[in-house]
Chain A
Amino acid sequence: MNWKKFPMTTDIPAMGLILIGGSVFLSSIAQILLKLAMLQFHDMDSISMAASWIPLIELASGLGCYALSMLLWMAALSTHELSFAYPMLGLSYILVYLFAVLLPQLHETASFWKTIGIMCIVIGVALVSKSNKTLD
């Protein structure tokens, strides 16, 4: 595979879905990283903020993940309809929820209704993914 050129959907079948999945994954990671950074910054004044390198690294890598996810997103958009791809972003709710529950620093608990909501999103995304009129 020619790594100089970004693998396009014409090169690998289902590349579009891989790109969308990768983009959603990266943007979920980014949201968690930014949330972690904000939590740690919350009680600091500006001097401590500039001196605390862990949250700064979290901030920088969060923004980096967002940028990378945007790149993958646009690659996916070049061969998929916007109305097909965009609902897939709903999956990031699921990933962010899972990360938030699994990471103790974020103090979030699973709940019955949150799980119901997640299931609705999964159904919704599955329906949209089946709504492609061309077999891609």
Chain B
Amino acid sequence: MEYLLILLSLVFMTSGQLLQKLAADKAHQLDHKAPFVKRILKQRETWWAILCLGSGMSVWLVVLYHMEVSKAVPFLSLGYVLVLVVSHYYLHEKIRPIRWLGVMFIIVGTTIISIS
């Protein structure tokens, strides 16, 4: 079922973003004497992020193989919602309504583009 694959891809991509954020936060708190690139590469989260993003993109390619692009891409925009939810509940970021509204616009916009 392609929809399960889409969900899997979204989970991978969202996890990848979350891991990037965690790695960036950790690197930021480390001693700034070391160059940023080295600090980032030292974090485990960075490598897990690369793995997740790579897997997510691979699964997405499989989805595109079986499904029309214009049908699949609107689901990708659900990723914006997933990231917001994860940021709120896991990262404890305070999200004002205007941010939700902005994301809604982005989702509408990407859906219009892909089905036109």
| Distance to closest chain B CB from A86 (angstroms) | 5
A56 at interface by CB-CB < 8 Å: no
Q: Which B residues touch A8, using CB under 8 A?
A: 28, 32, 36
Contacting B at CB under 8 A, from A112-130, are 112-114, 116-130
Structural contact, A117 and B99, CB atoms closer than 8 A: no
Count of CB-CB pairs between chains A and B under 8 Å = 139
CA of A4 to CA of B32 in the docked complex: distance in angstroms?
A: 12
Contacting A at CB under 8 A, from B97-116, are 98-99, 101-113, 116
CA of A79 to CA of B27 in the docked complex: distance in angstroms?
A: 11
Structural contact, B109 and A121, CB atoms closer than 8 A: yes
CA of A71 to CA of B96 in the docked complex: distance in angstroms?
A: 28
A52 at interface by CB-CB < 8 Å: no
| Distance to closest chain B CB from A50 (angstroms) | 20
0 or 1 for each of A75-103: is its CB under 8 Å from B? (1 = yes): 11111011110110010010001000000
Contacting A at CB under 8 A, from B24-48, are 24-25, 27-28, 32, 35-37, 40, 46
| Distance to closest chain A CB from B65 (angstroms) | 12
A105 at interface by CB-CB < 8 Å: no
Given the known interface contacts A117-B116, A125-B106, A131-B96, the answer about A73 and B35 at a Cβ–Cβ threshold of 8 Å is no
Binding site for A on B (CB under 8 A): 17-18, 20-21, 23-25, 27-28, 32, 35-37, 40, 46, 50, 53, 80, 83-84, 86-88, 91, 93-96, 98-99, 101-113, 116
Q: Which 4 A-B pairs have the closest CB atoms?
A: A124-B105, A120-B109, A127-B102, A113-B116
Binding site for B on A (CB under 8 A): 4-6, 8, 70-71, 73-79, 81-84, 86-87, 90, 93, 97, 111-114, 116-131, 133
Given contacts A74-B20, A113-B116, 12 further A-B contacts (CB under 8 A): A8-B36, A78-B25, A82-B91, A83-B95, A86-B84, A90-B106, A118-B113, A124-B107, A124-B108, A128-B98, A131-B98, A133-B94
